């Protein structure tokens, strides 16, 4: 029965969703009138305004879902407009992880699951310079995690908890996990909390969903195929990473041609052929691997010489001279790239120069190396701000990362903040560093 004081039924998730849908393609100011006032502050204020002014209940920080009777948690998230439509602008942040308590729970009794098993997601178009009350809501619907995703999310939660139990909460990284992350949460990245099994203070973190996962929710992702089609494919205690490793093992030691013959693949001399071989081993025929896309997991193939030497450093995106000046470390391209999870697939030449599948490994950059990468990024940003494009960190400086050109040719230039044109430069991880990782 509808509660008389509310225009929806707090005990019915479909009624809550239907009421939320009235905001589709509208702003709060349009629906509620120009007289409404913005009384909340902080990054999550739009959600608080929605709760108070639209759904007519006072925001709280309780461990239960917002609409407790229906088990529905309200979450708002920004979209950005691209030439191909709307995509997610950032990760979706949930509750702060209480290191002292969370490790005493099971997944089903955890703070994350109790609050977030059923989400009312309200995506709005972010536009710089406008008030929250004027954001237009573009996508609104209830979201329940599919079983195949929920299996990975539960494994991710277990990984985070295992680090807490090992007294390593200070070493938690977003790259440890696939879908459910543990992102830093606090002013200027300096908020620290006690942890139960170590005297070392740990960075305050919150559970989060990666922005690439949100793209699947909003339906803006490339054609993809799952590695695991059904949760029945998992054996007891097995994770997605275990299944990936198991798929590669039968091919260890085989040459490129032997793998191609075994998998009935067309021969190719394209540079991307090793990536295509790796994808075929995983049983994926479509353009993208769904689990990797949702996790923002980077598959990188590595080719070693017979001696074990690695000639090529690993390149990433070009440095955006204007954008980097407005980035903070936590929101920077380089931080978000290095805190990903990576799958390295290594091929090594035999005595006849034939590449053979050597091994694979999942990897996340350790915290101590991330600090070196941070110093490198700051050095790069400072030099760009000073218009010094001649003294970036070089590979010979042996600092894990370096800067060097990666343009079409010497005339491939990019505009700087001052309007000058400079040669395009790229982020690189040193070959010596990659070699040590996979050794």
Q: How many CB atoms lie within 10 A of CB 273?
A: 17
pLDDT in tens, 207-217: 999 989 999 99
pLDDT in tens, 156-184: 999 999 999 999 999 999 899 999 999 98
Give the burial class of 407: count Cβ atoms within 10 A of its Cβ; 0-12 exposed, 13-18 middle, 19 or more buried: middle
Spatial separation of the C-alpha atoms in residues 124 and 118, rounded to whole Å:
19
Q: Which CATH number fits domain 13-217: 3.40.600.10, 3.90.45.10, 2.30.110.10, 3.40.47.10?
A: 3.40.600.10
Can you spell out the DSSP letters for 306-371?
TTS---PPEEEEEP-TTGGGG--GGGSHHHHHHTS-EEEEEEEE-TTS-EEEEEEEEE---HHHHH
Answer yes or no: are the C-beta atoms of 380 and 323 closer than 8 Å. Answer: no
> pTM above the 0.85 mark?
yes
pLDDT-derived band at 188, boundaries 50, 70, 90? low
**Which superfamily does CATH assign the domain made up of 304-348+359-439 to?**
DNA mismatch repair MutH/Restriction endonuclease, type II (3.40.600.10)
Spatial separation of the C-alpha atoms in residues 142 and 18, rounded to whole Å:
10
pLDDT at 40 over 80: no
pLDDT in tens, 236-260: 999 999 999 999 999 999 999 999 9
pLDDT score recorded for residue 187: 56
Task: Check for a shared fold between 13-217 and 304-348+359-439.
Answer: yes
Cα 200 to its chain centre, rounded Å, is: 26
Q: For 53, which DSSP code?
A: I
pLDDT score recorded for residue 1: 45
pLDDT-derived band at 3, boundaries 50, 70, 90? very low
pLDDT score recorded for residue 57: 87
Overall average pLDDT of the 196-200 stretch: 96
pLDDT-derived band at 28, boundaries 50, 70, 90? very high
Q: Name the residue ranges covered by the structural domains of the chain.
A: 13-217, 222-295, 304-348+359-439
């Amino acid at each position: 029965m509808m509660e008389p004081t509310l225009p929806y039924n707090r005990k019915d998730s479909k009624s809550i969703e239907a009421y939320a849908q009235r905001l589709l393609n509208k702003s709060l100011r349009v629906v509620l009138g120009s007289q409404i006032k913005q009384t909340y502050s902080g990054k999550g204020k739009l959600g608080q305004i929605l709760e108070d002014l639209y759904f007519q209940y006072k925001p709280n920080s309780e461990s239960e879902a917002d609409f407790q009777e229906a088990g529905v948690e309200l979450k708002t998230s920004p979209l950005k407009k691209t030439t191909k439509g709307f995509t997610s602008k950032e990760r979706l942040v949930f509750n702060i992880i209480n290191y002292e308590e969370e490790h005493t729970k099971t997944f089903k009794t955890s703070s994350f699951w109790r609050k977030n098993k059923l989400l009312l997601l309200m995506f709005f178009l972010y536009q710089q310079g406008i008030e929250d009350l004027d954001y237009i809501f573009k996508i609104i619907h209830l979201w329940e995690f599919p079983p195949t995703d929920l299996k990975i999310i539960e494994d991710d939660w277990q990984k985070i908890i295992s680090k807490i139990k090992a007294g390593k909460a200070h070493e938690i990284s977003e790259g440890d996990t696939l879908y459910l992350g543990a992102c830093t949460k606090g002013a200027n990245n300096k908020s620290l909390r006690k942890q139960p099994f170590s005297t070392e203070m740990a960075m305050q973190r919150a559970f989060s969903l990666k922005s690439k996962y949100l793209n699947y929710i909003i339906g803006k992702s490339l054609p993809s195929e799952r590695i695991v089609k059904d949760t029945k494919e998992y054996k007891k205690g097995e994770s997605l990473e275990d299944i990936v490793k198991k798929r590669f093992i039968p091919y260890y030691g085989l040459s490129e041609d032997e793998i191609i013959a075994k998998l009935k693949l067309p021969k190719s001399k394209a540079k991307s052929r090793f990536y295509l071989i790796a994808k075929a081993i995983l049983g994926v025929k479509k353009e993208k691997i769904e689990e990797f896309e949702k996790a923002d997991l980077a598959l990188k193939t590595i080719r070693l010489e017979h001696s074990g030497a690695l000639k090529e450093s690993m390149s990433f995106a070009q440095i955006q001279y204007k954008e980097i000046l407005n980035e903070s470390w936590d929101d920077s391209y380089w931080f978000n790239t290095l805190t990903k999870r990576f799958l390295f697939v290594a091929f090594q030449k035999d005595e006849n120069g034939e590449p053979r599948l050597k091994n694979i490994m999942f990897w996340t950059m350790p915290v101590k190396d991330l600090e070196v990468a941070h110093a490198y990024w700051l050095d790069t940003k400072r030099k760009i701000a000073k218009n010094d494009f001649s003294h970036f960190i070089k590979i010979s400086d042996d600092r894990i990362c370096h800067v060097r050109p990666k343009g079409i040719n010497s005339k491939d230039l990019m505009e700087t903040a001052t309007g000058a044109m400079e040669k395009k430069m790229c982020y690189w991880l040193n070959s010596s560093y990659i070699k040590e990782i996979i050794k």
